[in-house]
Amino acid sequence: MKTGEVWVNIQVAAGPEGPWKEVRVLADTGATLPFIPATVLDSLGVRPVREIQISLANGSQVGRRLGFVFVRFNGDETPCRVIFAEPEDAPLLGLTALEQLGLAVDPINRELISVGFRAYRQSKIFGIPLRAFMQVRPGDVKRGRGTK
pLDDT digits (tens, 9 = 90+) for 75-116: 999 999 999 999 999 999 999 999 999 999 998 899 999 988
126 found inside a domain: yes
From residue 67, give the alpha-carbon distance in Å to each of 77, 120, 122, 140. 17, 30, 33, 42
> 133 and 103, same structural domain?
no
51 and 24 part of one domain: yes
99 in the same domain as 128 = no
Q: What is the CATH number of the domain that holds 60?
A: 2.40.70.10
Both 93 and 146 in a single domain?
A: no
Q: Is residue 102 part of a domain?
A: yes
Specify the pLDDT at position 56: 84
Same domain, yes or no, for 140 and 87?
Answer: no
Residue 13 inside a domain? The answer is yes
31 vs 17: CA distance, rounded Å: 27
Same domain for 123 and 110, yes or no, is: no
Q: Compute the distance between CA of residue 103 and CA of residue 78 in angstroms, rounded to an integer.
A: 12
pLDDT in tens, 17-69: 999 999 999 999 999 999 999 999 999 999 999 999 999 888 899 999 999 99
- Split at pLDDT 50, 70, 90, the class of 1 is low
Weakest mean pLDDT among 4-18, 80-94, 133-147: 133-147
108 and 56 part of one domain: yes
User: Does residue 1 lie in a domain region?
Assistant: no
Q: 59 and 101: one domain?
A: yes
Residue 136 lies in a domain: yes
Q: Quote the CA–CA distance of 30 and 95 in Å, as a whole number.
A: 7
Domain that holds residue 45: 7-114
How far is Cα 101 from Cα 73, in angstroms, rounded to an integer?
A: 8
Task: Report the domain count for the chain.
Answer: 2
13: helix, strand or coil: strand
Examine residue 132 and state whether it is found in any structural domain, yes or no. yes
Closest CA to 69 of 89, 86, 85: 85
| Residue 63 shares a structural domain with residue 127 | no
Give the pLDDT of residue 148. Answer: 41
CA neighbor of 76 nearest in space, from 53, 55, 99: 99
Q: Which residue has the higher pLDDT, 124 or 12?
A: 12
Q: How far apart are CA 31 and CA 112, in angstroms?
A: 15
